[in-house]
Amino acid sequence: MIGRIFAKDKHYLREYLGVTRMCSRRGRMEVKMKVTLKDGSVKEYAQAMSVIDIAKDLSEGLARMACAGEVNGEVVDLRTVVEEDASVNILTARDAEGLAALRHTASHVMAQAVKRLYPTAKLAIGPSIADGFYYDMEFETPLTSDDFEKIEAEMKKIVKEDLKVERFTKSREDAIAFMKEKNEPYKVELIEDLPEGEEISFYSQGEFVDLCAGPHLMSTKDVGKAFKIMSLAGAYWRGDEHNKMLTRLYATAFAKKDELEAYITMMEEAKKRDHRKLGKELGLFMMNEAGPGFPFFLPKGMVLKNTLLDYWREIHRRAGYVEVSTPIILNRKLWETSGHWDHYKNNMYTTVIDEEDYAIKPMNCPGGVLVYASEPRSYRDLPLRVGELGLVHRHEKSGQLHGLMRVRSFTQDDAHIFMTPEQIKEEIKGVVALIDEVYSLFGFEYHVELSTRPEDSMGSDEDWEMATDALKSALDELKLPYVVNEGDGAFYGPKIDFHLVDCIGRTWQCGTIQLDFQLPQRFALEYIGADGEKHRPIMIHRVVFGSIERFIGILIEHFAGAFPVWLAPVQVKVLPISDKYMDYAHSVQEKLFDAGIRSEVDTRSEKIGYKIREAQTSKIPYMLVVGQKEEEEGTVAVRSRAAGDEGAKNVDVFVEELLKEIKTKENRLKSAE
């Protein structure tokens, strides 16, 4: 029996034999604690064990790679002592939480390097983030990118020093005095905001001490050499524009140098694809100080936007949706009933009409609810799928605005599905299928997160549990892998978020499915069931694109402005070799126009090579070169982004082939030139 149990783990066998020898010498040994590992196996210990010691017991190699631990589902420091039966998982840099711990430690190393080089610098906060970490600081003399190399060199020294990272605690009062003594006013303010009697944790490494909850690596050496300071920016203390502007140092760190190099390559590629730069170059959109965060779409940008909206209407008509439009401004009473006034007021623009409070809608949901409530409903009417391309406004802080990615006004491709409880799973499956169709068309891969009840929420525990279980059940039946994102649901219900991955590996959260038991209750929505009695419908909120504006920004960067022909604002550019063939060029364009193909004629008196290069720079899918031979034969010389010179084609043949490509929404260009 023993042989079968331990055959795969010689280390465990040795430990077992050691225990049995101890038992033979000392008599019966009592096991104090059982630790259940990620693979379901169980380890038994006679005493409390720290997470790092458990890792060492499992494997010295695992201990060297360990960044943090997970005890009973909670991410903890490696120094955390496990004192009773528990499930334990050792997290490495391959795990998101483990990588976050590595980056968090790297942020302390960076802060220590800054303090060595600039002793008067004041430290604010330095968390890990999705792509790395940052630290907000106050400097007497402004920092520039020229300082990065010096700071990185000092960071390398600190890593080489192999400083032990140690955790200690102080009472709130002692912690305040401690940070005042170190002349760190921002840390003092953070501690003062904590409740009295709170125990405050710190981490030290050499001469450097920082206020921090952790988790952290065991030594500065464990940070390794794969880190880099990426950029700096201004950041208001605590995100409040009324506070002092601090310097935010952005950086990143990885477990391996090749991972860092791959990330840097991706970021360099991202700079080339920046939608703000391409949007200006391609004449798609603009921003103006007259309306910060309120985008202006230019003619070509409107073609792109309307083409997307036409596609949205096409797929939703097929999926059984009806479309409505609801007012942009609605009175306060509505927003109080929906819960937005209490839970979202700080993000809403308000006004007064006839001495009554109104709000510009930040979401379309309450308007959709009023549409449902506008007439009696029967179970025969359900599910009712109501779509809306609604213009919404949300107050975003000026420092958070970013091109089309973060704006104050945007079109949300909302839909609200009203249904019976029995229809929940099938409707969720239908939405998932729709989202999958859209993302696949654009070449996006995606992963799914299930977000659960946030702290600021409304509704009973029973309703939340029922809604969350319904989403889980639908995902399980679809066999769709997902991770649970605790506490990130909407205030009215849990949600499924779709995170798409673009062609250079970046992740964007776009599609979402939110299950809502609350609004139907708050608005007393009803339907007559098959039993003749009144029942309350269940509501789904969902978007596919999310924000149309943001999705356009993502598409610009995903395709580097080189859109598939069906989406391209200008699909064909006709290029006459000289002015002699201008009439023929315009006759070709007329045929394209009559066929519904978006085209332009380059009427400039430039050499044909220059015209071709300009068309390529403008990301035009097709160029038609026309001269004497083409005019005589009724043909065009076709050049495409996908294949270059495609030779001469009859105009009608080219039109037919292009219309087919547009109809099928084929993407001949898999990557930008």
**Structure token digits, residue 63:** 């201990």
Q: What is the pLDDT of residue 600?
A: 97
- By DSSP bridging, strand 199-205 and strand 132-138 are unpaired
In the numeric block, the tokens 């990130």 are attached to: 488
Mean pLDDT value across residues 456-468: 83
User: Residue range 164-190: average pLDDT?
Assistant: 94
Task: Quote the pLDDT of residue 669.
Answer: 62
Which pLDDT does position 17 carry in this prediction?
Answer: 27
Q: What does the pLDDT read at residue 9?
A: 35
With 70 as the cut, is the pLDDT of residue 6 above it? no
**What was the pLDDT predicted at 7?**
31
**Angstrom distance (rounded) from CA 104 to CA 107:** 5
Q: Which domains does the chain have, with CATH numbers?
A: 2-89 (3.10.20.30), 97-259 (3.30.980.10), 280-558 (3.30.930.10), 572-664 (3.40.50.800)
User: What Cα–Cα distance (Å) separates residue 424 from each residue in 1, 458, 468?
Assistant: 49, 21, 12
Q: Does residue 128 surpass a pLDDT of 70?
A: yes
Interval 465-491 mean pLDDT: 87
* Burial call 245-257: b when 16+ CB within 10 Å, e when fewer: ebbbbbbbbbbee
Q: How many residues does the chain have?
A: 673
**Catalytic residue list:** 365, 394, 412, 414, 416, 495, 541
pTM of the shown model? 0.80
Give the pLDDT confidence score for residue 255 in this predicted structure: 95
Reduced to 3 states, what is the DSSP secondary structure of residue 328? Answer: coil
Q: Once rounded to an integer, what is the mean pLDDT over residues 608-620?
A: 95
pLDDT band at 24 (very low <50, low <70, confident <90, very high): very low
Classify 215 in phi/psi space as left (phi over 0), alpha (psi -120 to 50) or beta: beta
Which has more pLDDT, 19 or 573? 573
pLDDT value for 487 = 87
| Phi-psi sector, 560: left (phi>0), alpha (psi -120 to 50), beta | left
Q: By the 8 A CB rule, do 507 and 500 touch?
A: yes
Mean pLDDT of the residues in the chain: 90
> Binning pLDDT at 50, 70 and 90, where does residue 278 land?
very high
Split at pLDDT 50, 70, 90, the class of 29 is: very low
DSSP letter for 219, please: B
Report the C-alpha gap between 394 and 362 in whole angstroms.
Answer: 5
State the pLDDT confidence band at 8, using cuts at 50, 70 and 90.
very low
Q: pLDDT class for 4, splitting at 50, 70, 90? A: very low
- Quick one: pLDDT at residue 11? 33
537, pLDDT greater than 60: yes
Three-state secondary structure call for residue 192: helix
Q: What percent of the chain has pLDDT over 70?
A: 95
25 or 566, which is more confident: 566
Conformational region of residue 239, where left means phi above 0, alpha means psi within -120 to 50, and beta covers everything else = left
Residue 303 confidence (pLDDT) = 97
pLDDT over threshold 50, residue 21: no
Instruction: Give the separation between CA 450 and CA 478, rounded to whole angstroms.
Output: 14
Question: If pLDDT is split at 50, 70 and 90, which confidence band does 194 have?
Answer: confident
pLDDT value at 670 more than 80? no
Q: How confident is the model at residue 16 (pLDDT cuts 50, 70, 90)?
A: very low
Percent of the chain surpassing pLDDT 90: 76
Which residues are within 8 A (CB) of 317 and not within 5 positions of it... i.e. 6 or more apart?
A: none
What's the average model confidence in pLDDT over 643-657? Answer: 95
Report CA Rg, the chain: 30
Query: What is the tens place of the pLDDT at every residue in 363-373?
Result: 999 999 999 99
Is pLDDT of 195 > 90?
Answer: no
**Residue among 253, 249, 251 at smallest CA distance from 136:** 249
- Model confidence pLDDT, tens digit, residues 89-117: 999 999 999 999 999 999 999 999 999 99
What tens digit of pLDDT does each residue of 46-86 get? 999 999 999 999 999 999 999 999 999 899 999 999 999 99
